[in-house]
Structure 1
């Protein structure tokens, strides 16, 4: 292989000494020619290769050239350097060791100085380099160390001594452009210096160096080493495993949820089995229907979330609230009794005391030992009036009077209906009240049912219009003779059956709620409802029976 190069010094700086100073212009160096023979191996291909060659320098100054040539960029005589190079490339590591002998005429740099540190001559050169190299990118980068020592030149030469030895460390980058031009960039420092060795320098090299393109190799590969060549392998980077997929050559049977259960065996192929697989359903996690973190197999309440306060005695269950009043059983001093609308502040979960059971709690009851009715007047709240709440019943103590054989309410009924409306206003917990109309069995049943229904509706209209009660709290219905509370064979029994009742239907009561006492309600004079004494006589008897 033949080589040739022409060095150019673009910039030189230094401190003048002994009549020598840095060149102030661009200088051309001596051209270099080389001849190289490969002994074995392939450079940039083999792990170890050896080449033998020589470089020769043509002295421009010695041949009389002066333009652009300085006494520091060119020698006065010929130089030649036989060299042996050992190197190689393996695993992207490029390395080399060099050794050679440069013959050059002896010379002295400077005026009025002795040989030490100023004499040059024939020298031994040694070099070592290592670099990271990528042949595909055509790139190499790494450090290089070059050492030389003068062995011939004058009688005072001392090889390998400080004044006759040079050591230079460089860091370089090489890149081949378009497989054609070699670009080199480097820089380094002079550690030990003979004349001509710089303190530091930066190098730029551009060379014609064709880089042969590697022929494309057609190699049958099996990247996953499963015995199926990549050309046929549907999964070239995944081993086919112990159970290949018969539908996809070279692929293992899928495990979509990556839980170790192959899809054909996995009862839940899209849900991982997790740390607690279901022994009855391969590939499925144990269930947690209520999503409280306690698996169904251990959850005593699998359909109910354990909540923020789980039951310590029943895994997966919330702490109980038997009376459903919002106070959990461990905190509830009355766990089987709802605390109601007026809880006892001293006893969590318990209703406030109501000794006379009239729905007015003792702290608010003006008559705590005598059943009464709610009132918005604190002095009358819970005290007896025309209406009494007792044992969950709304009772009227005076009848509702109607015009004979009509649904018109008489004025004398105003006090009792007013008492009913006041009790309702003072009892917002009563959300729905049913007004029922009833008759005895005299006369035609259909007529009696219609009359009782119209009278019940009249009471509802009165409570809405004059009593100020919201319409959605009231309902009405007439039952005629269908629900007797006494024997219709006697005048007294028939009188009891002719009545108006107020039934609490929301909230639901623990037993059938009926009013008391409707026995003295006046009934209109009519052929089907008369006991033969006239309405006025019956009204007088009703008053005397109260």
Structure 2
């Protein structure tokens, strides 16, 4: 119901869901005391299936298509006798006595027999600020468009589709601050006024434009791929105005949701809850299960190719052209592209990002864009921080970490305290599209068997790579390596030295010229 947007870089996801609703459509009357008395359960059991397809592009937009289908519907038809007027209370019988027509024809809705299609839905969501699942605050905007099957296909049941298009613009605010993840949604569903087919004297059968509010908060453990928390969705009719905010035209559903990962790409979700306020179509109880898988649109290969939109090396032609590299949030950046060799075969010295004209601190951020031109830092999407010292700095062909990435003892589980460092690495890579590939290198101290340390170091490197991939860094821009205790930077005869050797290094390998020594004069 209430989603947390997830933006990635050129990824594609497929999801299948089952949605069981108990008593989503009932016929009843309201007593003078405000109590609702059920006269007939039109749809008692409903099971819907849905196929969801979504593509996330450039870490800034998600485009989706949802194809729902009614698998099972069970309840009393208008000709049923299980809830005969003879079984109604005297008060209910009196309330409907003056309705024209046969008492058994009060309702015009018949549950579907067999499988029936429902309205396809197109969706779009654009990221405006922040990252919903990694930063404390983010804002996204988009909407849904439902296609009216009743206009396209004859014989479509009236309770499965409108006769006109429905549009719902929405705003999503979301954020993540370990271990809590939250989301707030606001929406306006525009739909022409319609009736469900129930008798107008009973009321509650009219559908119109609705205002929606949703909230969700969950405990989220990203390393274990686990999330648990409640969510609530409120919808109320605001047009036509004479029905606005009335109880029978307002719904409130509360659910408890659980999500967990299976393997590297499979996500499973479960949710169950109740309808506390019920308008047309709101069930007394709902249970949902969903399975989804995400993969990259660009397959990995041994021969690395630059991400889409980046300049590629050219051979045989002497070329040195300033290329404007498009970045999210429309931050202008000028990168000098040089070929591997000129046409006449004459050798030329390689040009590195560290040697770019107008980059005094050699951190790949030109002085014109550098908020701290005399202090090495890392590129940032925020102009006021770009090139300034932080948790990550570009130096000596590496992303130098000002704080180590730490793990639970003898495991590859990243500790929560290192999440800000990983986030800083991801932010720097997003702001540096010319850094086409990095190698994440794991290292250990000399304690324990070498074979065990070698295995632990590569597993830790892969753990970091998975974290960055979840944060939207394209997998083709990363590779992992483990060196165990073979490359110490300190002696292993003290705890301080061993702690220094237990580390993760981020090495820039493409472009190789970026590994220039900025200490030379």
Higher RCO (C-alpha under 8 Å, 6+ residues apart) = 2
More strand by share: 2
Q: Looking at CA atoms only, which structure, 1 or 2, has the larger radius of gyration? A: 1
TM-score of the aligned structures, taking structure 1 as reference length: 0.38
Provide TM-score, normalisation by structure 2.
0.40
